[in-house]
Chains A and B, each alone.
Chain A
Amino acid sequence: DAGVIQSPRHEVTEMGQEVTLRCKPISGHNSLFWYRQTMMRGLELLIYFNNNVPIDDSGMPEDRFSAKMPNASFSTLKIQPSEPRDSAVYFCASSWDGAYGYTFGSGTRLTVV
């Protein structure tokens, strides 16, 4: 298995632009998580999907952030409009039912200038 695949690996964008991050979970995993990592705030959960349904989105910072999971093999995290404070590494992780270890993707390093 290729693991959790995220794209792009790096994204540099200007403030106000729309940013879309993509994630392909491990086949057979039914739980998908989006986390954001910064030095100041550590690893923060943004949103959790189970069987493609959002279960907990309490970590989504504000309306500028949205996430979708149209099918079991694909998820997106969108930021519109982006702001410099959104700069961070965004990780996608998947798991079987969340009761087993998470497999993290390589992350997307987002820089908003």
Chain B
Amino acid sequence: QQPVQSPQAVILREGEDAVINCSSSKALYSVHWYRQKHGEAPVFLMILLKGGEQKGHEKISASFNEKKQQSSLYLTASQLSYSGTYFCGTSSGSARQLTFGSGTQLTVLP
């Protein structure tokens, strides 16, 4: 089954924070996060493996709660360049192929 992302869309002002959630009905092995700009390919942001770790680079970080089968992506002090559609992709068990959520459209306004 496809993971469920929320919210579907969010509009921010530059400098504001945002949280995007991803939840699954299946036990997860890994969660990936990608950003896609209009007309371009998805770009890998980070991967979280089962173990509840939190990762981050610069002002974008993520957490993974394997008991709740949920992951959250945190964007702090958002920049105009953060605009795009964010997808979580999940894998379960020994599978390595990802099932992607329907995406969260993030718009950062000046």
* A interface residues, Cβ below 8 angstroms from B: 31, 33, 35, 42-43, 45, 48, 50, 55-56, 91, 95, 97-107
Contacts and interface: CB of A to CB of B under 8 A. Distances in A.
Given A42-B102, A101-B32, A102-B32, A33 B41 contact: no
B41 A43 contact: no
Chain A interface SS verdict (over half): strand
B20 to A, nearest CB: 15
B42 A43 contact: yes
The binding surface of chain B is classed by DSSP as strand
Contact of B41 (A50, A95, A98, A104): A104
B41 A48 contact: no
Interface residues of B, number: 24
B97 interface: yes
A38 to B, nearest CB: 11
A48 B43 contact: no
B92 interface: no
Nearest to A92: B41
B41 A107 contact: yes
Nearest 9 interchain pairs by C-beta? A98-B96, A101-B44, A104-B41, A43-B100, A48-B97, A42-B102, A104-B42, A106-B41, A56-B97
Contacts of A55: 97
A101 B87 CA distance: 13
Interface string B38-50: 0011111111000
Contacts of B95: 56
A33 B97 contact: yes
Interface in B85-105: 87, 89, 91, 95-103
B48 to A, nearest CB: 11
Interface in B1-35: 2, 30, 32, 34
A88 to B, nearest CB: 14
A16 B98 CA distance: 31
Contacts of B103: 42
